[in-house]
Structure 1
Amino acid sequence: MQDDPRALVSTDWLAKHLKDPDLRVLDASWYLPAMGRDAKREYDEAHIPGARFFDIDEISDQRSDLPHMAPTVEKFMSRLRAMGVGDGHQVVVYDGAGIFSAARVWWTLRLMGQFDVAVLDGGLPKWRQEGRPLDDLDPVIRDRHMTVRRQHHLVKDVTQVSAAAKLGDYEIVDARPAERFRGEVAEPRAGLRAGHIPGSKNVPFGELLVQGQTMKSPDEIRRVFEGAGVDLSKPVIASCGSGVTACILALALERMGKTDHAIYDGSWAEWGAFLTLPVAKGPAKQGPMT
């Protein structure tokens, strides 16, 4: 693969740069309850040398009733400074699944104006499989100032998504599994309706990955989106269950050179709870919401 320090880098690239003074590695592991894994405990037991743990649930806007919404600028700055991450750093984010929650932290840093950030392709599983070094030591932290400029165009709220669904000026793409998108199974989060945003398309995030770990090539990514009926001439709003796997879609789009994409941060946790918002079921249909 071709390494891109602003999107995706290989384990070879990280191994080569691991001791660079301005490299910062973040363990962004996060798991759904059904996965039965404890991300912080696993980090404490073994992580890539020098990695800091990024707690997606804690570094969020906890004033919101919705899960792990993007944090305020002030909270983000204070937490990253406490990790010793700041201006001039190249950041590499990984997770314990391969490519899963790391994309969410990649997007969060970009939202805050930090663009020298990449996801580790294959994550910790690939790093382990290759016999690369791990440790259980706490990293040495030195404060570093971070200049934050929130990139408002990278995130959409429910009002903006509703307007986009009606006008059809964006492609709304849902990363959830097909049976959830079609409304054939109940949502794992209690109290949510089943189905999808009218007019949205479905690209289950796993279709962009090879064996759930590494990202497909840019040409393969393009074929996946086009095969789902996504018009790539339009800007894209990515959605999912709670705003985590939607970021895998954003990362894949960035990987293939498409930069006009945003995340619906509330995703189905928000849309599915609002009884006044329309819900569609069955396969994706062409055309805007009426």
Structure 2
Amino acid sequence: MSTESPNKKSKTVHSLLSGKKIVSVEESLQVFGEPGVVFVDGSWFLKDRNGREEFEAGPRIPGARYFDIDDVASKGDLNPKGLPHMMPPKDLFAASMDALDITNSDHLILYATKGCMFIHRALYQIQAMGHERDRVHLMNGSLEEWEKQGGKLDKEPAKVINADGLDLSKPTKYTATDPQNVVDIEEVKGIVNKGKDTDSIIVDVRSSERFLGSVEEPRPGLRLGHMPGAKNLFFFSLLDPDNVAQLKPKQELQKLVADAGIDIETDKRIVISCGSGATACALAAALDVCGRDPSKTAIYDGSWSEWGSEEDTPITKDPDT
């Protein structure tokens, strides 16, 4: 039996994880089971698969929680346009974290199942709602790689919380903030209308075909094209093709960003848009890995699901506009 004190173990865990946005499977295995380390499955899919159902059926990392970006979100009267997975109010987020038995002091290691390209939304949302950035990490590998490297699995059925059933009148142990580094449609309109005089850069991470409006949007009824002045960097190019649940190495990310005409060190704020506010978070994570100050990066939460559905938002198909 180990004679190491819990405080010493906690310090060891913090020293292993502190300052690391990306942690390897080996590092994740090293801290598995330690106090103050919580594994969080953030798997989400646009279609064909359901991350919540897969988590409930198993397998999963033992003791892991499931963070559902569609459930822990603004809905109903808080979201009159019915936009997907919008950032939640802080009371809902705090109550959800309590229900997941997550505290502000926990180190969270987010992971996804093989084939998930959207894990970065859960990562970004948890940080945006106030969990200390130094305590939020992304495992550089999927659940399948965890198993291949000897990680234990829980294959028993489990039940995921339903945020709609939480009592928001009760005080919470978890302390959340209003969403940080998130912009709305009015702010984006202001950026577009200022043109070259703006203090922000818009980057659209949809495919070039969607950016140019040469193909239909996956969500019916949306107008085609992009915001005038926006740059384009397809989010999928940032992902490891052999495991889309993880980003490419830092040097490759830096080259991709530079080739897209984006200055990582620019003093201007980089505002990222995508289809629904999910894949934009892949670029946010990549910029973080590349060394950009994350406080100078923001997500347009409504993204094209909102912009493309409005009648008065400026849109162009011109690649140079």
TM-score, length of structure 2 as denominator length: 0.81
Q: CA offset at residue 85 of structure 1?
A: 0.5
Q: CA offset at residue 31 of structure 1?
A: 0.7
In structure 2, C-alpha distance between the alignment counterparts of 1:150 and 1:193, rounded to whole Å: 31
Alpha carbon RMSD of aligned pairs, Å?
Answer: 2.1
Q: CA offset at residue 129 of structure 1?
A: 4.2
Matching of residue 257 in structure 1 with residue 291 in structure 2: yes
Deviates most, 162-171 or 256-265: 162-171
In structure 2, C-alpha distance between the alignment counterparts of 1:186 and 1:80, rounded to whole Å: 38
Contact 2:69/2:85 (8 A) holds in 1: yes
In structure 1, C-alpha distance between the alignment counterparts of 2:51 and 2:29, rounded to whole Å: 23
In structure 2, C-alpha distance between the alignment counterparts of 1:38 and 1:123, rounded to whole Å: 16
Shift in alpha-carbon separation, 1:203–1:4, aligned structure 2, 3 A: farther
* Counterpart pick for 1:222 among 241, 254, 260: 254
The unaligned stretches of length 5 or more in structure 2 are 1-15, 162-171
1:247 aligned partner, one-letter code: C
Matching of residue 204 in structure 1 with residue 240 in structure 2: no
In structure 2, C-alpha distance between the alignment counterparts of 1:42 and 1:187, rounded to whole Å: 27
- SS, match of residue 84 in structure 1: coil
- SS, match of residue 224 in structure 2: coil
- How many percent of aligned residue pairs carry the same amino acid? 36
Shift in alpha-carbon separation, 1:4–1:193, aligned structure 2, 3 A: farther
Structure 2 residue aligned with 1:26: 40
In structure 1, C-alpha distance between the alignment counterparts of 2:17 and 2:255, rounded to whole Å: 21
1:252 aligned partner, one-letter code: A
Structure 1 residue aligned with 2:275: 241
Q: CA offset at residue 258 of structure 1?
A: 0.6
- SS, match of residue 127 in structure 1: helix
Structure 1 residue aligned with 2:165: none
Deviates most, 165-174 or 81-90: 165-174
Q: CA offset at residue 7 of structure 1?
A: 2.0
Contact 2:43/2:51 (8 A) holds in 1: yes
Structure 2 residue aligned with 1:49: 62
2:249 aligned partner, one-letter code: S
2:185 aligned partner, one-letter code: V
In structure 2, C-alpha distance between the alignment counterparts of 1:149 and 1:79, rounded to whole Å: 13
Structure 2 residue aligned with 1:231: 263
1:16 aligned partner, one-letter code: Q
The unaligned stretches of length 5 or more in structure 1 are none
Deviates most, 125-134 or 181-190: 125-134
Matching of residue 60 in structure 1 with residue 73 in structure 2: yes
* Counterpart pick for 1:150 among 169, 178, 182: 178
* Counterpart pick for 1:39 among 45, 51, 57: 51
Deviates most, 219-228 or 239-248: 219-228
Contact 1:191/1:273 (8 A) holds in 2: yes
In structure 2, C-alpha distance between the alignment counterparts of 1:174 and 1:87, rounded to whole Å: 32
Q: Deviations over 1:211-261 (max 9, x none)?
A: 124312222212111101123313211110001100111111111111210
Contact 1:66/1:270 (8 A) holds in 2: yes
In structure 2, C-alpha distance between the alignment counterparts of 1:128 and 1:177, rounded to whole Å: 33
Structure 2 residue aligned with 1:164: 191
Whichever of the two has the greater Rg, that structure is 2
Shift in alpha-carbon separation, 1:125–1:182, aligned structure 2, 3 A: farther
In structure 1, C-alpha distance between the alignment counterparts of 2:50 and 2:31, rounded to whole Å: 28
Structure 2 residue aligned with 1:135: 154
- SS, match of residue 203 in structure 2: strand
Matching of residue 78 in structure 1 with residue 95 in structure 2: yes
Matching of residue 274 in structure 1 with residue 310 in structure 2: yes
In structure 2, C-alpha distance between the alignment counterparts of 1:190 and 1:23, rounded to whole Å: 41
TM-score, length of structure 1 as denominator length: 0.89
In structure 2, C-alpha distance between the alignment counterparts of 1:145 and 1:113, rounded to whole Å: 14
Structure 2 residue aligned with 1:102: 119
In structure 1, C-alpha distance between the alignment counterparts of 2:100 and 2:34, rounded to whole Å: 17
Aligned length: 278
1:249 aligned partner, one-letter code: L
In structure 2, C-alpha distance between the alignment counterparts of 1:218 and 1:172, rounded to whole Å: 22
Q: CA offset at residue 122 of structure 1?
A: 2.3
In structure 2, C-alpha distance between the alignment counterparts of 1:203 and 1:70, rounded to whole Å: 23
In structure 2, C-alpha distance between the alignment counterparts of 1:102 and 1:252, rounded to whole Å: 13
